[in-house]
Chain A
Amino acid sequence: MGLLLKEKLTKFVNMKAKKKLKGASAFGVRVIKDKSMNKFSGRVLFPEKLAEANKVVANLKWDI
């Protein structure tokens, strides 16, 4: 029973590892969190770009 549980856990951990997608670290690039960046959060820095994008997503037609 214990062995079965261990196998299931290993399978779960392997699945999780497999699903981890590569981010900046895969390219050797560090990401540092800095509180000074939070002043940009919660506001739209480029409102005209967002307005443009909203127009796009409202009128999207998929042709795939």
Chain B
Amino acid sequence: MKLERYEPLVASDNELEYRFDSIGPKGKILKIIQFVKTNDPRFYIMSFGDILPDGSVDHHIKNDNKDRNKILATVAVVVYEFTARNPNKFVFFKGSTEVRTRLYRMALAINLKELSIDYEIYGVHLKEGNYIVRQFEKEKEYYGFAVKRKIN
């Protein structure tokens, strides 16, 4: 993935929160990513949003800072960092809207060959109240995604 990314990543001591600055026509926007353990200890949820000037966070905000790909590439690096430290954990993620979920799917699909070297990649379907986990396939729509590091 020879992509532009933001750096540095600023992490909390427990390495569950990461921040970086998005720079674009709308100025500097603080982005935060948090990993939280779910009720199933094998799974962490990765959530992503903006830090607002009052210190609160928002994951619905659309600020159109013209750096979508750079942000996605930076989030991917954060996932690498987290999973390097927590290789036995699954990271579950989905967009806060269907459009964003589709964007994640496209990002996974475009980089699938390279990502598959390092990750097991799964797509999650919602069907009759159950969440069916299958190997990720490029052309399919998903409710969400789960990745886990390959340890060879």
Contacts and interface: CB of A to CB of B under 8 A. Distances in A.
Interface of A: 19-24, 26-38, 40-41, 44-46, 49-50, 52-54, 56-64
Contacts of B96: 49
Interface residues of B, number: 53
A53 B38 contact: yes
A9 B124 CA distance: 43
In this complex, which of A27, A28, A54 has the most chain B Cβ atoms within 10 angstroms of its Cβ? A27
Interface of B: 1, 5, 7-19, 32, 34, 36, 38-40, 43, 45, 47, 49, 57, 59, 74, 77-78, 80-81, 83-85, 87, 92, 94, 96, 118, 122, 124, 129-135, 143-144, 149, 151
A22 B84 contact: yes
B32 A40 contact: yes
Contact of B8 (A22, A29, A53): A29
B43 A57 contact: yes
Contacts, number: 140
Contact of A31 (B9, B16, B143): B9
Contacts of A40: 12, 17, 32, 34, 57
A32 B135 contact: no
B38 A57 contact: yes
